[in-house]
Amino acid sequence: MWRLFLIALLGAAGTSQAEVGGDAENGQTLFRQCSGCHEVGQGARDRIGPHLNNIFDRPAGAADGYRYSAGLQRAADGGLVWTYETLDDFIENPRRLVSNTRMSFHGFEAQQERDDLLAYLRQFSASPGNIPEAAPTAAAVDHAVAPEVLAIIGDPAYGEYLSGECTSCHQASGATDGIPSIINWPAGDFVVVMHAYKEGVRAHPVMQMMAGRLSNEEIAALAAYFESIE
Amino acid sequence: MTFNRRIFLGSAAVTAGLLAAPMVRAQGKPRVVVVGGGAGGATAARYIAKDSQGAIDVTLVEPTRTYYTCFFSNLYLGGFRDMQSLGHSYGTLAAEYGINVVHDWAVGVDRDAKTVTLAGGSSLPYDRLILSPGIDFVDGAVEGWDLSSQNAMPHAYKGGSQTELLNAQIIAMPQGGTYAMVAPPNPYRCPPGPYERISMVAHTLKEVNPTAKILIADPKEKFSKQGLFEEGWNDHYAGMIERVGPDFGGADVVVDPAAMTLSIDGDVNNVDVCNVIPAMKAGRIAEIAGITEGSWAPVNAVDMSSKMDENIHVLGDAAAQGDMPKSGFSANSQAKVCANAVRGALTGSTVFPARFANTCWSLIDTEDGVKVGATYEATEEKIAKVDGFVSQTGESDELRAATYQESVGWYDGIVADMFG
């Protein structure tokens, strides 16, 4: 009931953060959990996930040029529109609202956290002209990979063979439940993440082990393959 | 074209009619026969069919129409999974990958003629044969036990009906009764499996029969993830579990299925459930094919080919390959190396270097998951370990819960990789 009240407020007034009950500043901190995959703000681009500028009132699945999961596409075809309420549901538990979404995120359980995050995102949504002159929210991970390593063009055929080591756990369909989807990532993001595991910057023993013996060329090959598969 | 094809089919039928045994004929393509539709065989069949895009004729021989995975069957005993969620059909492999799925037993291999004989009487010709038959039990391994006693004393070490039987017996135990396990000697399928099972049985008993006892007779000094399991048993099931190792006669065991007794070093225990997991060997067809040495089938690490026949490959539990544990994950990993090599040999496609990996998750109690894993490479001599890790004792609840969630994701991943 009070959620409806919030929406009414949103629609009626000029949307300062106090009125939506969320603390945008805390939302900005919380957004760090999202920024591995999503950018928002001036110059934001689609990365592992789509950019989030103007997400409010945007029909689901509508970021130009982003390849959505079949699950999200189905929800979009069913008429899902991102409102305060649907976004609130989604970030509480992405897979409950959109089954088979590739977004592998456990969700924000606390209503206050969701309100804070949405208050933050709301700032980038009023209208395109309203987006603050802020730098986009960083690259996928804060891990530097040498430009010559990023520049390696991977062999997708070799990547396909190597991918057998990934698909014992990560589903080739992009389905995600307990283990994240790794398909259709921008190759550069894939390379950065794998090197972060390889060098122990990202903490996960299985991934550190798997990435640990991949050469630069092999990582590039995997990135090329996973970017390309349908 | 159509006309020629008709002629060909017609003459083939005539030729077939002249043969003594019925032959299942392919149309001039290289033929791969895979025996066993588990983590090794189903994966190999799927990858060869998928990657050769119809250039190789793939037949998969598997007796069961619904395959119940042995991995995660312990979670069924703990009440965390239902049996239905562990069952998988071969329909997608047949319909979407064009694999000829034959539900029958392979009972003979003629290595000179390169044919596999089925229990139904048919004979399947092959250019390459992939055997992934899993395990069978060594006769006489546990005194007093043989396959005819598996209803009174289930092994429940092949997925499906045996697991359901063991579960029913656990539920029917009298209050304060005893569940006993005869643990197997090395090497055997799924090294942490018996101890995850103990954890899951304890979890169930704690709920329905909290005064029950668990007794393990174990011929091994040490076992997989021992520190993790013992920590968990102390934390969750204190006072419930007793393990008798070889120092105290754990290897000197006699069972009496009629009297429901388990004797350890001459000491007779009356038990209510007796889960006998005997010593294991390669699935019988490997022995019939004459490619075993001792209990297992030695293979070359580079392509999983038999050391005794270059046209036969052996995957998973049945293979003696070196350092990899016998697990579904290992079999799945070996299958992809083998599929790549077999495809290369038969069609000239690129053969990439062999590389293997394994990870085994175990559940100790609700949301208390642990894991162990390693990577491997092919050497002249064997599959050799490169690097590995194991969960640590004293990990946070949050990490253990995440590990369990990951194992659930892995299950979905590997069955998708096997069955499409």
pLDDT band for position A54 (cuts 50, 70, 90): confident
The region of weakest confidence among A93-97, B98-102, B158-162, B258-262 is: A93-97
Residue B383 has pLDDT above 90, yes or no: yes
Question: In sequence order, which residues have a C-beta less than 8 Å from that of residue B399 and are 6 or more positions away?
Answer: none
Q: Does residue B332 sit at the A interface (CB-CB below 8 Å)?
A: yes
Distance from CA of A105 to the nearest CA of B (A): 12
Q: What is the pLDDT of residue A177?
A: 76
Count CB pairs under 8 A between chains A and B: 85
> What total number of domains does chain A contain?
2
Record: contact B413-A210, CB cut-off 8 A: no
Q: What residues form DSSP beta bridges with B276?
A: B182
User: In the structure encoding, which two tokens stand for residue A155, read together?
Assistant: 């062999």
Q: What is the pLDDT of residue A173?
A: 86
Residue B5 has pLDDT above 80, yes or no: no
Question: In sequence order, which residues have a C-beta less than 8 Å from that of residue B277 and are 6 or more positions away?
Answer: B155, B156, B157, B181, B182, B183, B184, B188, B194
Q: What is the pLDDT of residue A194?
A: 93
Q: What is the pLDDT of residue B332?
A: 98
Residues A172 and A204 in one domain: yes
In a domain? residue A136: no
Q: Report whether B156 contacts B162 (CB < 8 A).
A: yes
Q: What is the pLDDT of residue A126?
A: 63
Structure-model confidence comparison of residues A137 and B184, the more confident one:
B184
Phi/psi at B382 (5° precision): -170, 180
Q: What is the mean pLDDT of residues B166-178?
A: 98
- Count of residues for chain B? 420
In a domain? residue A135: no
- If we measure between CA atoms, which residue out of B31, B24, B60 comes closest to residue B44? B60
Distance CA B391, CA B395 (A): 8
Q: What is the mean pLDDT of residues B43-63?
A: 97
Q: What is the mean pLDDT of residues B172-191?
A: 98
CA distances from B3 to B7, B9, B13, B138 (A): 6, 10, 16, 55
pLDDT band for position B1 (cuts 50, 70, 90): very low
- If we measure between CA atoms, which residue out of A176, A168, A218, A224 comes closest to residue A197? A218
Q: What is the pLDDT of residue A36?
A: 86
Record: contact A177-B414, CB cut-off 8 A: no
Q: Report whether B54 contacts B33 (CB < 8 A).
A: no
- Please identify, among A130, A161, A183, the residue that sits at the C-terminal boundary of a domain: A130
Residue B174 DSSP one-character state: P
B340 to chain A: closest CA residue = A161
The rounded percent of chain A whose pLDDT value lies above 70 is 83
* Pairing relationship of beta strands B261-264 and B267-270 according to DSSP bridges: antiparallel
A159 to chain B: closest CA residue = B352
**What would the pLDDT profile of B244-262 be if each residue is shown by its tens digit?**
999 999 999 999 999 999 9
Distance CA B256, CA B407 (A): 37
Distance CA B132, CA A107 (A): 41
CA distances from B138 to B165, B184, B222, B328, B420 (A): 21, 11, 21, 21, 33
**What would the pLDDT profile of B191-212 be if each residue is shown by its tens digit?**
999 999 999 999 999 999 999 9
Residue B339 has pLDDT above 80, yes or no: yes
Q: What is the mean pLDDT of residues B36-52?
A: 98
Question: In sequence order, which residues have a C-beta less than 8 Å from that of residue A110 and are 6 or more positions away?
Answer: none
Residues A8 and A120 in one domain: yes
Question: In sequence order, which residues have a C-beta less than 8 Å from that of residue B355 and are 6 or more positions away?
Answer: A162, A165, A213, B337, B375, B376, B377, B378
Residues A153 and A60 in one domain: no
Distance from CA of B363 to the nearest CA of A (A): 15
List CB contacts (< 8 A) between B417 and chain A: 167-168, 171-172
Q: What is the pLDDT of residue A131?
A: 42
Residue A125 has pLDDT above 70, yes or no: yes
Record: contact B388-A209, CB cut-off 8 A: yes
- The one-letter amino acid code at B235 reads D
Distance CA A179, CA A106 (A): 11
- If we measure between CA atoms, which residue out of B179, B231, B168 comes closest to residue B362? B231
Fold of domain B142-278:
FAD/NAD(P)-binding domain (3.50.50)
- Please identify, among A100, A130, A160, the residue that sits at the C-terminal boundary of a domain: A130
Q: What is the pLDDT of residue B15?
A: 43
Residues A79 and A166 in one domain: no
Q: Report whether B355 contacts B374 (CB < 8 A).
A: no
Residues A27 and A120 in one domain: yes
In a domain? residue A36: yes
B361 to chain A: closest CA residue = A206
pLDDT band for position A122 (cuts 50, 70, 90): confident
- If we measure between CA atoms, which residue out of B361, B319, B359 comes closest to residue B338? B319
Is it true that domain B29-136+281-351 has CATH number 1.10.600.10?
no
Of A158, A172, A212, the CB nearest to B352: A158
Phi/psi at B163 (5° precision): -65, -40
User: In the structure encoding, which two tokens stand for residue B197, read together?
Assistant: 């099972």
Phi/psi at B409 (5° precision): -65, -40
CATH code, domain with A153: 1.10.760.10
- Full domain range(s) for residue A185: 147-228
Residues A153 and A94 in one domain: no
pLDDT band for position A58 (cuts 50, 70, 90): confident
Q: What is the pLDDT of residue B27?
A: 57
List CB contacts (< 8 A) between B350 and chain A: 157, 161
Distance CA B262, CA B213 (A): 14
In a domain? residue A139: no
Residue B415 DSSP one-character state: H
Record: contact B333-A165, CB cut-off 8 A: yes
Record: contact A161-B340, CB cut-off 8 A: yes
The region of weakest confidence among A22-31, B62-71, B120-129, B146-155 is: A22-31
Q: What is the pLDDT of residue A178?
A: 82
Q: Which of A1-15, B5-19, B110-124 has the highest mean pLDDT?
A: B110-124
Parts of chain B belonging to CATH 3.50.50.60? 29-136+281-351, 142-278
Q: What is the pLDDT of residue A84?
A: 85
List CB contacts (< 8 A) between A213 and chain B: 355, 375, 386-387
Helix crossing, B226-236 with B193-208: angle to 10°?
A: 0
Record: contact A169-B414, CB cut-off 8 A: yes
List CB contacts (< 8 A) between B387 and chain A: 209, 212-213
List CB contacts (< 8 A) between B329 and chain A: 168
B186: helix, strand or coil? coil
Q: What is the mean pLDDT of residues B131-159?
A: 97
Q: Does residue B81 sit at the A interface (CB-CB below 8 Å)?
A: no
Average pLDDT, chain A: 82
The region of weakest confidence among A189-193, B25-29, B250-254 is: B25-29
Helix crossing, A187-198 with A205-212: angle to 10°?
A: 100
Residues A60 and A13 in one domain: yes
- If we measure between CA atoms, which residue out of B296, B289, B287, B253 comes closest to residue B271? B253
Residue B397 has pLDDT above 70, yes or no: yes
Residue B101 has pLDDT above 90, yes or no: yes
